[in-house]
Structure 1
Amino acid sequence: MISLFILLSFFIFFIAVLICLPRSVKVELSALPSPAWIYLQIVLSLFYKKLIVKKRGPKIEVNLTKPVRISPTRFQGFMRLTGFAGQDGKVEPASAIIPASYPFVESFRLTMQALAHPQFPFPILGSVLSKNRSILLREIHHEDKLFFDCTVNPNYRITDKGHVEVDVVTCAHAMRTANDRGSGSSNVMVWKNTLTIIILTKRMKKKDESSAAASGDTSPSFGRLVTWHLTGDVGRRYGGVSGGLNPLYPW
């Protein structure tokens, strides 16, 4: 009897969560979603998403309708973790320069919400980070109020091993100042990030065309500039700053 009650409760909870999931491919949020809600969606997606190979999917957009300020707590944790803080490990948020890699920490939950969207065709548990590129279009100041928007590129690529590569583009906009060029909108893009993940699927042979031509990958080759020596807990510490709970972080 107790087991039946537990199963029924779980079923009702599962249905309630499904009802709350976003339906439209364009989602507008007034605040960043909580990590608990995001990862609940990701776990539940295992029940209805399959690891199949696709070359195209829906264009999913997740936008913040209200601006957010840089979190002093997250910023200081990031600066200490990445070595940007002083020798004493302290940093003054009001005077520090915002690194180009930092806005990703603030927008991480928006990116995860886009990938957890019911219409994104793949479960992302077990996906692998391929590459990430951040562009700082102008300096970001601590007093800036940032609007974030995130878009999943609907054109996927098939890798040499037959897995699926997906680009997620996140942008930050701030109020236009006298130093910003152009006119029109009151907001100006100050940061753009392209996150590329690989969805590990059942391997599929590619057609005769070369992998570079098929994927449109024209990324230049890079030489080694510097070697970083990191402590063993850096992954867990970064996850604590960004809100990421990827099980790979402990390793």
Structure 2
Amino acid sequence: MSTEVDAAPNLSALYAKAAVTGPIRRGGELPATEYVRRDITIDHAHLAEYDRVCGFGLRDVLPATYPHVLSFGLSVRLMTDPGFPFPLVGLVHVANSITVHRPVLVTDVLTQRVRVANLRPHPKGRQLDVITETSVEDEVVWRETSTYLRRGRSDDSAPRADRVAEIEPGSPTAFWQVPADQGRRYAAVSGDRNPIHLRALTAKAFGFPRAIAHGMWTKARALAALEGRLPESYTVDVDFVKPLLLPSKVEFTAIGDPGDGATFAVHSRSGKPHLLGRVH
């Protein structure tokens, strides 16, 4: 069932709704709802600020991760609807795959469709996909699958997914100094104000010693490091392996030519992987 949405949802209201309704959600099947938003134009000032926060240069082509920000409100609305089975707070973003079918221009007028699908077992609970398509006129130009984990009873029969890349630490391409306020800076441009990303005090309420970086910021920052070498059409997959605590100094490693296929990773200084990725 498709439902048309005229404007970007009010995220503050949706987060308040999530806080109130979360305790009463008891699992079950995923809803068949699809939200559709048409006639989306790019706010150039907002895009410029996103580029600055994530490390992209100013170009007439959208970064591959920017449509995720445009559709984020629709995703949150869907995951706070009465028919969605799990509390929004507590869902863990474990993987993300984006396919760019052709460059998306800042002048393009977009239509976005968001739905959830593929509820399935995970060794640590259950997982599901949030699927987003971005179109220009009738052409799908961008597609994303974000995989979320709802922690629960262990299921040893659930298949363990292969990681998208295995890169040994120790020979980094670059070092990144990620400041303590990185979560707040990304929240301001993305709308993702999950308390685990904002301050140490609010993160501790959810079991983290300090605030953690958004996974989609880490993916965006990695793609910014590959900017200018990516082909016009590609898929970029990432696994979010371990939280990146703020502040941190991390190692970024890229192997191969992104035009022909490449792998990349973000590791802590101790060698633990935060993000593993692949362009193909």
Output the TM-score relative to the length of structure 2: 0.64
Write the distance in 1 (CA, Å) between the matches of 2:49 and 2:149: 28
List aligned pairs for 1:239-250, cutoff 5 A.
Answer: 239-250=187-198
2:275 aligns to what?
Answer: none
2:165 aligns to what?
Answer: 221
User: Counterpart of 2:178 in 1: which secondary structure?
Assistant: coil
Give the letter for the 2:36 counterpart. Answer: N
- The Cα of 1:221 is off from its aligned counterpart by 3.3
- The Cα of 1:218 is off from its aligned counterpart by 5.4
Output the TM-score relative to the length of structure 1: 0.71
Aligned with 1:231 (options 179, 184, 209): 179
Aligned with 1:143 (options 97, 101, 107): 107
Write the distance in 2 (CA, Å) between the matches of 1:197 and 1:122: 11
Deviations 1:194-241 (A, max 9, x none): 11111123x2444xx4524xxxx4554332675543222111111110
Unaligned runs of 5+ in 1: 1-24, 86-90, 176-186
1:48 aligns to what?
Answer: 24
Unaligned runs of 5+ in 2: 199-210, 212-280
Give the letter for the 1:160 counterpart. Answer: P
User: Counterpart of 1:119 in 2: which secondary structure?
Assistant: coil
List aligned pairs for 1:183-202, cutoff 5 A.
Answer: 187-201=138-152
Give the letter for the 1:145 counterpart. Answer: V
Q: Pick closer, same or farther for the CA change 1:106–1:123 going to 2, 3 Å.
A: same
Write the distance in 2 (CA, Å) between the matches of 1:230 and 1:200: 28
User: Counterpart of 2:140 in 1: which secondary structure?
Assistant: strand
Q: Percent identity?
A: 27
Q: Pick closer, same or farther for the CA change 1:105–1:205 going to 2, 3 Å.
A: closer
Write the distance in 2 (CA, Å) between the matches of 1:150 and 1:196: 13
Write the distance in 1 (CA, Å) between the matches of 2:16 and 2:2: 20
User: Counterpart of 1:148 in 2: which secondary structure?
Assistant: strand
1:102 aligns to what?
Answer: 66
Q: Which has the larger radius of gyration?
A: 1
- The Cα of 1:41 is off from its aligned counterpart by 2.5
- The Cα of 1:107 is off from its aligned counterpart by 1.1
List aligned pairs for 1:197-216, cutoff 5 A.
Answer: 197-201=148-152, 203-206=153-156, 209=157, 211-212=159-160
Alignment of 1:170 onto 2:132: yes
Write the distance in 2 (CA, Å) between the matches of 1:100 and 1:31: 22
